[in-house]
Amino acid sequence: MAATIIDSRIFRNMFSTEAMRHVWSDENRTAKYIDVERALALVQGRLGIIPQEAADEIVRNCDIEKFDLEKLRVQTERIGYPIIGVVSQLNALCRDRLGEYCHWGATTQDITDTATVLQIRESLALIDADLAAIADALAKLANTYRDTPVAGRSNLQQAIPVTFGYKMATILAAVLRHRERLAQLKPRVLVGEFGGACGTLASIEKGAMETQAGLMTELGLGQPLIAWHTVRDTIAEVGAFLGLVGGTLGKISMDVKLMMQTEVAEVFEPYAHGRGSSSTMPQKRNPISSLYIHAAASTVRQHAAALMDAMIADHERSTGPWEIEWIVLPEAFCLTAGALNQTRFVVEGLEVDPAKMRANIDITNGLVMSEAVMMGLGASMGRERAHDVVYDLCREAIRVNRPLLDLLAENKEISSHLDRAALAKLLDPTNYLGQAGTMVDRVLARHAGR
């Protein structure tokens, strides 16, 4: 029986993905514990720290299919941690008491932390793949609509025209930065743990550092400079990264929701029969993916804060903050995966209406171009005087509901500097897109690796 959104039979694929749930499942987590124990025995047998016969027997039995997870549940509830139960079952699987050599010199947290890092590595690979796909989709939109005017909005009011390609490229640039962050954090985060009781490896008389180095090589992880049992900045960094990714996905969802409003109707989430329909209002086409993105991203940010709380740990082995990570790290990854999946669906199939974008610019009767007119008049009238005159004419255009062009052309002070044709050119949105196209091209070049 599932009680959480992530594992719900109804909601699970709306808030997460099967692949990410597998990474953080009991089965995969336990398999990672076993992988670490296997690698430890392999390395210690090679170094002669434990008998080779014991190492071979331990390695032979390090198979998740041989372990009883129900028994492990009972053991964990009794003991408080799962590692002793894993070691106990592994020991029992080995012949002639050779299993007594498993977990040699390790402590519970060594195995748990290293397994968690292995799960993080798998999770980050999934996230990077989704970020890459989203970047490709955004690049396609940015290229297709490079020169398509759309109202730029400030405080939810039309400001000046931009292009829809520019709008997509600003988000693409953020996604590219997230991929850079991911690559940069890996050397810091993908580092294992093997320090023994208080991190000093005192329980291994000879070959301690060689064991640590060999273990990390075997697992494909970095070797720690020193134990990090209660110094948890790397795990918190992962949470902060997920929070940043979620923030960008939330930005996408917010803009899509606003642009799907009936009065705006510039873009729409991909259509499927019945998707977004109302139980009582047949005409409605509600945003759906954007709602789930927003909810998931907001929750992940709270989890990022919780992981920072978990950094405040006591002494060399802590009394509780560690378990905060057990609660929120899997959910943060699972919700991020869900938000990425929903975002990918949206941007890969986004419906764009350039005609409505232009129509929305035109509803202001030219007011959205007032800055262009002010700047066009600034050289001859002075910027401040031009601002004041245009400001007053904008207010008048609103009051009498007339096109701004008419009032500008009728104004004697303005007409002495610019005729109606020149003013009409200033009021053309396609003539006031600034360097939007150049900026789009720069982002697309970065995406292409040029």
In a domain? residue 241: yes
379-397 pLDDT, tens digit per residue, is 898 989 999 999 999 999 9
* Residue 450: predicted pLDDT: 61
In this prediction, the residues of the chain whose per-residue pLDDT falls under 70 are 276-278, 450
pTM: 0.94
Amino acid letter, residue 432:
Y
Residue with tokens 């989203």: 134
* Residue 282: predicted pLDDT: 75
* Residue 320: predicted pLDDT: 81
Which residues does the annotation mark as catalytic? 278, 317
* Residue 277: predicted pLDDT: 66
Closest by CA position to 40, among listed 203, 188, 190: 203
* Residue 103: predicted pLDDT: 96
Domain of residue 411 covers 367-426
Q: Which of 44, 79, 104 is the last residue of a domain?
A: 104
Question: Hey, what are 291's tokens?
Answer: 């709602």
254-280 pLDDT, tens digit per residue, is 999 999 999 999 999 998 877 766 677
Quick check: helix, strand or coil at residue 107?
coil
> What is the DSSP code (8-state) at residue 225?
S
DSSP string, 382-440: -HHHHHHHHHHHHHHHHHHT--HHHHHHH-HHHHTT--HHHHHHHT-GGG--TTHHHHH
Q: Are residues 99 and 123 in the same domain?
A: no
In a domain? residue 397: yes
61-72 pLDDT, tens digit per residue, is 999 999 999 999
CB 436 within 8 A of CB 165: yes
Give the separation between CA 72 and CA 63, rounded to whole angstroms. Answer: 14
Displacement of CA 380 from its chain's centroid (Å):
50
Displacement of CA 129 from its chain's centroid (Å):
11
DSSP string, 38-55: HHHHHHHHHHTSS-HHHH
In a domain? residue 269: yes
* Residue 223: predicted pLDDT: 98
CB atoms near residue 264 (< 10 Å):
16
CATH number of the domain to which 380 belongs: 1.10.40.30
In a domain? residue 1: no
